[in-house]
Homo-oligomer: A and B are copies of this chain.
Amino acid sequence: MSLLVQKYGGTSVGTVERIGAVADKVAGFREQGHDMVVVVSAMSGETNRLIALANDIQERPDPREMDVLVSTGEQVTIALLCMALKKRGWDARSYTGGQVRILTDDSHTKARIQEIDEANMRADLDAGRVVVVAGFQGVDAKGNITTLGRGGSDTTGVALAAALKADECQIYTDVDGVYTTDPRVVDRARRLEKITFEEMLEMASLGSKVLQIRAVEFAGKYNVPLRVLSSFKEGPGTLITLDEEENTMEQPVVSGIAFNRDEAKITLAGIPDTPGIASKILAPVGEANVEVDVIVQNVGADNTTDLTFTVNRGDMNKTVELLSAVAKEIGAREVSGDDAIAKVSIVGVGMRSHAGVASTMFKALAEEGINIQMITTSEIKISVIISEKYLELAVRTLHSAFGLDAEVTA
């Protein structure tokens, strides 16, 4: 008997039949004696339908009214799921964000949770009811409806689990867990039984879109055991937890290989090597709301330097244009962009205590003739920028080199 918070995404509740399947699942857990809090998203397609209505009316829809509008999506789902549970003989009660109440700041369309009142939910749980909560939404101190931004339902789930001190927060999605890398690229990719919050954050920020980054951060901060599972396939999924010391010995050095194709490289060559030059270049880029990822600067022999950095691929042209003026101003020789690149990263808390991880990585890539254009490292991650054409080869090579390949079952 434990308290579980489960979150079901839009695909899992996309039709009346699927809502019924979720009710069956939840009923199964109740039958085993668990106390259940269920967070749901809008039925798939619904949020987009509502946003399209808004866009038909106002080019940049008013944020407060946008929240009033899109929050109806989850409100529909909570009502339908409660009906499905009642039909199956289980008492249930639905809550909008405001009814819980999930207090947020007043940043409409991207609000942050400040406080959760658990009294109402607790009373229902004590009365044996399933508590069904609308994900993605809250209210500000004045009672205005707010939303947490796309994917915010994961965050709602984790925040409720933290507030209720739930035994586990289970995120049901359309994948059956977190993999060592993308199975579409490496067919021997394995589902991980366990991964740490830190590793998950690195994996997520590199494009493994299983979970909202904010939800993982939140879970880490409040130490909420988080599990990713499939709505459609039985299985234990992947548990995301704190890096507990005792496990470190058994932990593999590298837990996963992440990659990202959506970057482009900008190079300013022949820059006069004077102090503060990097900020002169990067400040206007930041002001233009372009996010910069990897940055590398090399000092040359002729008193000039080269600065290279990566941006989202869609921002490349804009950034090159912007920097052409800057280059003239500071006397740089040229600005160039290259969007045929990709980033590949190895992630693992194990590498903290293991030397030689980087050299293993570089050697494996070199043996395949893959040239490394840029390198950046953190405590639990090493990323390299390579030519995009080598991406799949690099990921497969590293997956094998770090012993992640699943055993072949004949």
- Residue ranges of A at the interface with B (Cβ–Cβ < 8 Å): 16, 19-20, 50, 53-54, 56-59, 61-62, 64-66, 68-69, 71-72, 75-76, 78-80, 82-84, 86-87, 93-94, 96, 98-99, 143-145
Do A56 and B16 touch (CB < 8 A)? yes
Which of B57, B82, B84, B96 makes the CB contact (< 8 A) with A84? Answer: B57
Residue of B nearest to A99 (CB): B143
Nearest-neighbour CB distance to chain B for A160, whole angstroms, equals 18
Q: Is the CB of A64 within 8 A of B93?
A: yes
| B65 and A94 contacting across the interface, CB-CB below 8 Å | yes
Complex Cα spacing A20 to B82, Å? 35
Q: Which residues of B contact A53 (CB under 8 A)?
A: 16, 76, 80
A82 engages B96 (CB within 8 Å):
no
Chain B residues near A20 (CB-CB < 8 A)? 57
Chain B residues positioned under 8 Å from A71 (CB to CB): 75
Chain B residues positioned under 8 Å from A58 (CB to CB): 83-84, 86-87
Query: In the bound complex, how far is the Cα of B20 from the Cα of A78, in angstroms?
Result: 31
**Contact, CB under 8 Å: A79 / B65:** yes
- Give the docked Cα–Cα distance between A66 and B58 (Å): 31
Q: Which residues of B contact A56 (CB under 8 A)?
A: 16
Q: Is the CB of B78 within 8 A of A68?
A: yes
CB <8 Å contact, A94 and B80: no
Within the complex, what minimum Cβ distance (angstroms) separates A301 from chain B? 59
CA distance A371 to B328 in the complex (A): 101
B82 near A62: Cβ-Cβ < 8 Å:
yes
A68 in contact with B84 given A57-B16, A76-B53, A79-B54 (CB within 8 Å): no
